[in-house]
Amino acid sequence: MADTTLQVPTHSEIEKVLGDFDRWSHNCHSASLHLVQSGIFGPEARVARGSAIGVIGQHSWLVVGDPYDEDAPIVDVTLWSYDDNQPKIWRGTLRDGVHRPQGSGSIWLIGGPPPDPEGEIIELQPPEDGWSFGAISWLDMIGPLDLRGWHHLFNGPVEGWPAREIITQAASDKRLKALIPIDILGMVTDLDPSGLYLGGSTE
């Protein structure tokens, strides 16, 4: 089980890590990754990416725990550079309605399940310790899938199904890994593509 002990750095501790806040203006991913790498938020901290109220385009922030958990603590140290009404260090959760990570929502409500296959069926190799019951049930329900089906699955909502287990395994297949958005790979798994989400690539 993951260590969910929350470390709560003070304002001054965060300032010490970041230094001059102005240098991070509109540089949300780098600022968030810098905080993650500092270790002051503990081992469960990672960079989350998606959208935020007041920000045009993609945005990044730090989250402690599952990026899709409505109660996971969020710290955003660049929101102020997009919205003058925000503090230099924004703290809250998804329940505040400001942030929305890419891949949020239910596949049954957004986009629907993968389409029936028209091309070559691609089956996932099970992990060394085998699939969980949830993963077996899910794969049986939505499969079989061709490349088009896998693409649809990886680019849709990741909540409500065993995305972590399935996407982690899919990333070991070069054909399928190319279909997984980097933000989904970085938020759903611990593979840490290019060291941009946890600060230490394991690829």
How high is the mean pLDDT of the chain?
Answer: 93
pLDDT, greater one: 203 or 81:
81
Counts of helices then strands in the chain (DSSP H, E): 7, 5
Query: What is the spatial distance between Cα 161 and Cα 3, in angstroms, rounded to a whole number?
Result: 22
Query: pTM of whole model > 0.75?
Result: yes
Q: Is the previous residue joined to 73 through a cis bond, with omega within 30 degrees of 0?
A: no
Ranges of H-type helices in the chain: 11-18, 28-38, 133-142, 147-154, 163-170, 174-177, 182-188
Residues of 173-187 as b/e, b for ≥16 C-beta within 10 angstroms? eeebbebbeebbbbb
> Residues 93-149: pLDDT tens digits?
999 999 999 999 999 999 999 999 999 999 999 999 999 999 999 999 998 999 999
> Residues 181-190: pLDDT tens digits?
999 999 999 9
- Contact assessment for residue 184 and residue 158, using Cβ atoms and an 8 Å cutoff: yes
Query: What is the spatial distance between Cα 101 and Cα 152, in angstroms, rounded to a whole number?
Result: 18
**Given the structure tokens 């990570």, which residue do they identify?**
101
Tokens of 104: 């949020």
